[in-house]
């Protein structure tokens, strides 16, 4: 028998080269494509002189957030969390719950993809600046976040992957949905809580909404405000928010001309609010949220005016179909 002696270092090299994939994995390919797209976008963009630079040209807005946020720390934590979620997803699901009597062998189905958001929740930040919000959303003790933060200058900060669960909607109810964070994308608009929203901000918002609707097939009725979902706790977005404009673009339902509408005498306002989606455990708060959203009126009056009753009736007929 002939024995061929191979030095240990050569053996290690052979094993390493065998285990290395010669063809890049799908994930590596996607990463490379994403990086190339990002490099292309950055090389096209002009350096911003200040935070008021607009993004009408479609180029990336370059902002220096490092003054307000520990970006290195935040990104390190985000990436670590994302990796832990990836590890969880990749786990053999047979061992998710040891109390269940699983089969010993695992057979994974080949027909799967990622779960998608089905709602969009719109917020105002009630803060002084985007930087303040970025700071808040990178503090662990604040325990709040959103997928997107849109500045008054139209800048778009995408802070959480759309597939992940941001902490934005909290406790509330819309229809039968209670865990809204698990099925929605949250968008925060930089706003002091009272003032108007800027044109650049709304234009950027419309672009984000169009992208989400297209990618995830979100129904028109499922674009709502935080106050719609949590009327007893929240009042955002404030009364200046242009819901009618959004609806005309396909985001959220709206009512049609009520001039000749005759509301039936037995029309039940509470049931109508419930059918639209409002939590009616506190009807007065549901009325206030409805009025703010669909009548653009901020009022603590818990009863609807005749004109508002017409709007509710008209809208309710749209939600019936
Ligand atoms: Zn909110």
Same domain, 267 and 151: no
Asked whether residue 212 falls in the same domain as residue 120, the answer is: yes
Residue 50 above 70 pLDDT?
A: no
Overall domain count for the chain: 2
A 10 A CB-CB count for 309 gives 17
Last residue of one domain, picked from the residues 216, 232, 252: 252
Q: Is the pLDDT of residue 317 over 80?
A: yes
Domain assignment present for residue 5? The answer is no
State the residue range of the domain holding 79: 63-90+115-252
Flag whether 281 is in a domain. Answer: yes
Residue 105's pLDDT band (boundaries 50, 70, 90)? confident
Beta-bridge partners for 158: 148
Same domain, 218 and 203: yes
* Residue of 247, 233, 244, 245 lying closest to 289 (CA atoms): 233
Catalytic residue status for 132: no
Is 290's pLDDT higher than 80?
A: yes
Q: Is residue 288 part of a domain?
A: yes
End-to-end CA distance of the chain: 83
Residue 104 pLDDT level (bands cut at 50, 70, 90)? confident
**What is residue 308's three-state secondary structure?**
helix
Any domain includes 314 = yes
pLDDT per residue as tens digits for the range 52-83:
333 333 455 556 666 788 999 999 999 999 99
Predicted confidence (pLDDT) at residue 197 exceeds the cutoff of 80: yes
Residue 127 domain flag: yes
Give the global pTM: 0.81
C-alpha 125 – ligand 1 centre gap (Å): 7
Q: How confident is the model at residue 106 (pLDDT cuts 50, 70, 90)?
A: confident
Percent of the chain with pLDDT over 90: 70
Do the beta carbons of residue 228 and residue 293 sit within 8 Å?
A: yes
- Of 229, 252, 275, the position where a domain reaches its end is 252
pLDDT at 21: 38
Q: What are 247-264's pLDDT values in tens digits?
A: 999 999 999 998 999 999
pLDDT of residue 300 exceeding 60: yes
Shared-domain flag, residues 183 and 313: no
Same domain, 307 and 267: yes
Instruction: Determine which one of 188, 199, 269, 308 is catalytic.
Output: 188
The size of the chain, in residues, is 321
21 CA distance to ligand 1 middle (Å):
47
Q: Is there a single domain that holds both residue 136 and residue 246?
A: yes
- Domain C-terminal end among 252, 276, 308: 252
**153 CA to centre of ligand 1 in angstroms:** 20
Question: Is residue 225 in a domain?
Answer: yes
For the ranges 30-39, 57-66, 77-86, 269-278, the lowest mean pLDDT is seen at 30-39
CA of 235 from ligand 1 middle (Å) equals 8
Alpha carbon 233 to its chain's center: 19
Q: Which residues pair with 60 in a beta bridge?
A: none
Q: Are residues 304 and 212 in the same domain?
A: no
Task: Reduce the DSSP state of residue 111 to 3 states and report it.
Answer: coil
The answer to whether residues 315 and 255 touch, using CB atoms and an 8 Å cutoff, is: yes
- Choice among 36-40, 91-95, 153-157, 185-189 with the minimum mean pLDDT: 36-40
Residue 38 lies in a domain: no
Give the H or E element holding residue 16. Answer: helix 8-19
Rounded to the nearest angstrom, the distance between the alpha carbon of 295 and the centre of ligand 1 is: 20
CA distance 30 to 38: 12
Check which CATH number belongs to the domain holding 81 and give it: 3.40.80.10
**Same domain, residue pair 236 and 287:** no
232 shares a domain with 259: no
CA of 124 to the centre of ligand 1 (A): 6
Lowest-pLDDT choice from 44-53, 164-173, 276-285: 44-53
The per-residue pLDDT for 100 is 85
126 C-alpha to ligand 1 centroid (Å): 9
Residue 36 in domain: no
Check whether residue 160 and residue 207 sit in a common domain.
yes
Q: Do residues 193 and 217 both lie within one domain?
A: yes
Lowest mean pLDDT among 29-43, 96-110, 131-145, 182-196: 29-43
Does residue 135 share a domain with residue 70?
yes
């Amino acid at each position: 028998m002939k024995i061929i002696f191979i030095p240990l270092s050569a053996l290690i090299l052979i094993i390493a080269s065998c285990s290395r994939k010669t063809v890049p994995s799908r994930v590596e390919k996607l990463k490379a494509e994403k990086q190339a797209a990002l490099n292309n976008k950055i090389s096209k963009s002009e350096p911003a002189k200040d935070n008021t630079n607009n993004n009408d040209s479609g180029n990336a807005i370059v902002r220096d957030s490092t003054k307000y946020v520990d970006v290195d720390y935040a990104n390190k934590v985000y990436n670590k969390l994302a990796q832990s979620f990836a590890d969880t997803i990749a786990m053999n699901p047979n061992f998710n719950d040891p109390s269940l009597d699983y089969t010993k062998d695992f057979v994974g189905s080949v027909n799967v993809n990622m779960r998608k958001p089905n709602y969009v929740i719109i917020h105002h930040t009630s803060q002084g600046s985007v930087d303040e919000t970025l700071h808040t959303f990178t503090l662990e003790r604040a325990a709040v976040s959103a997928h997107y933060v849109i500045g008054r200058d139209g800048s778009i900060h995408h802070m959480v992957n759309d597939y992940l669960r941001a902490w934005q909607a909290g406790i509330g109810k819309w229809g039968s949905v209670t865990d809204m964070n698990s099925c929605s994308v949250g968008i925060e608009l930089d706003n002091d809580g009272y003032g108007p929203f800027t044109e650049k901000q709304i234009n950027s918002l419309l672009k984000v909404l169009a992208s989400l609707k297209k990618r995830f097939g979100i129904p028109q009725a499922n674009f709502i405000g935080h106050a719609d979902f949590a009327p007893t706790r929240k009042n955002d977005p404030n009364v200046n928010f242009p819901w009618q404009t959004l609806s005309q673009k396909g985001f959220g339902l709206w009512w049609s001309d009520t001039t000749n509408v005759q509301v039936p005498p037995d029309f039940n306002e509470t049931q109508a609010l419930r059918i639209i989606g409002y939590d009616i455990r506190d009807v007065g708060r549901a009325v206030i949220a409805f009025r703010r959203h669909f009548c653009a009126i901020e009022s603590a009056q818990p009863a609807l005016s005749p004109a508002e009753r017409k709007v509710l009736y008209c809208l309710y007929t749209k939600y019936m179909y």
